[in-house]
Structure 1
Amino acid sequence: MIKEVITILSERSDLGQSRMQEVMQEIMQGKTTPAQIAAFLVALRMKGETADEITGAALAMRKFVKRINTFEDVVLDTCGTGADRVHTFNISTVSAFVACGCGLVVAKHGNRAVSSRCGSADLLEALGININIDQKKVEECLKKIGIGFLFAPNLHPAMKYAAAVRKELGLRTIFNLLGPLTNPAFATHQLLGVYDLKLLKVLAEVLGNLGVRHGLVVHGLDGLDEITTTSATKVCELKNKKLKFYSIHPSDFGIKKARLKDLEGGDVKANARIAQEILQGAKGPRRDIVLFNSGCAIYVADKAKSIKQGIELAQESIDSGRALRKLEELRQFTSI
């Protein structure tokens, strides 16, 4: 199957959902060689991934995932594609605690750094959270605290067949897109940052195909795979199975415009210090971008009727100490 698929892709033809699902299952079962996986990934990237192809790949990966069961009606994720190469601090992870402080259940899917200096897993470890916990413990975190970290390597064991190839290639591939689409808790609501404007519509369509009820796919015009405060952010909103496109700007919500320099993260230790300071209430451009992102996450999880109201709830979550308490509770619970 994979040889046939590589030929099709090299001719710049689309695979469709079912064929992509089949070939991805072959990869996840260890039935393909590293050379075949590499050729497949490069050929697919050169052609460009369609919504149907990404959907098929995500459905295949979901079959092999260690499922995290939660009986909540709303499960939020703030995982982005990464690979934006701007090297900000870990905005989406801090935003997850702020959203959780508003009473939302947040299943934060993530991994160690690939293209950045500090991934969500690296940050949480530096903050004293044990990320190497089993499925049952993750489920307990979600139930008792309202937030859990879903460490991708522990919950996607079949990914081991492609991991070495991805690392050796050092290219953005379909796997950068699949991380946010294969949350083991099957998130129902999602804020998804992407590294390329062309992915907005495609990934919003995929979220709809995968059953997400309300999603925001976002791209900062400064290159961020987050909602940015340095310029405008392009948004594709999925709601009631319909897509809506618009732009948002920090000034629309009374947020000061920042410089990229103000949002830099640095190494793991620096990221941990920044996260702690924001959750402790430190003011400035880093807090502002977290408020903007967590406000949008609160809105997309239907806890707020507008982004503006979401930002107000995010401010309360930090200023009341609730967001910081969620971090402390997760640290304590995962160390037991």
Structure 2
Amino acid sequence: MTATVQAPPKTRRQVFPFTAIVGQEEMKLALLLNVIDPKIGGVMIMGDRGTGKSTTIRALADLLPEIDVVEGDPFNSDPEDPDLMSDEVRQKVEQQQPINTVKKKVQMIDLPLGATEDRVCGTIDIEKALSDGIKAFEPGLLAKANRGILYVDEVNLLDDHLVDVLLDSAAGGWNTVEREGISIRHPAQFVMVGSGNPEEGELRPQLLDRFGMHAEIRTVKEPNLRVQIVEQRAEFDGNPSDFSDKYSSEQVALQDKIVQAQKLLPSVTIDYDLRVKISEICSELDVDGLRGDIVTNRAAKAIAAFEGRTEVTIDDIRRVIVLCLRHRLRKDPLESIDSGYKVKKSVARIFGLELEE
């Protein structure tokens, strides 16, 4: 039995509206598809400094509809889904004890560069555990990120060990903390978004491969667009609430579209021949493992659901496959061809399409 408590009135600071962001279509599409189907596995955004990476991610988190969470639970437990409940909440549900639920904004958790493993995963108070016989757990950032977005800026500067921990949690959906023979686990299902500047160092290929999608963004070169972006930013900084009001109907429409897409996703199908062609492309490009095939299938279904359709088309695949495969190709230091172009070339050949520039 659950009783719903109303969320407190809006007292949050204003965030730049997602629908007001000019350009960067590749990044916006990758983020939206990951929200529709978090099992795509997150997105790595590589690009120049000052291109609005963190503004866009914050805007996306702010756009998302509120979710039902168990009141007072540090893990944002879902009152309905056992896979998204902490052990304590699940016990209560099994024993049919009443639990209160509240509406809460989807969390966007920033991972600071200098974060320690304890700060990320949480800690167990050994003294309390030994003296009082209870598992005293201090939740970390992964607990707060459950059912939300975890944003790691400059992921290429993060300690490799920490990136491994994050990706393991993102892949398995659970975080386990073990100290002195005491073990605690909690749900940690989140959309992992990493960003970085290629000039500051590349990410290891095996880590890159663990991100579902890879978006590349460049500084806008078109002078008129640059002026538009600068003016928008100035207008927002001058009066955030007036600026946000101008986009409120577009924001609501996009929010509804995301909710509808999430509902429609389970009924989206992808024809067997198209699945074979996706695997043919991955094989031709010499992509290691099957993650590329799986992510491309998921992303194509998500884009079809986003557009309100239940069947995946060749065009859906064409629009997402570069995002899903470009970071999985083996790097040849002597080759100057962009990996995204290689993917497009293979797609055009196998599907018999015109090669897009």
**Normalization by structure 2: what TM-score?**
0.27
Q: Comparing both structures, which one devotes a greater share of its residues to strand? A: 2
**Normalization by structure 1: what TM-score?**
0.28
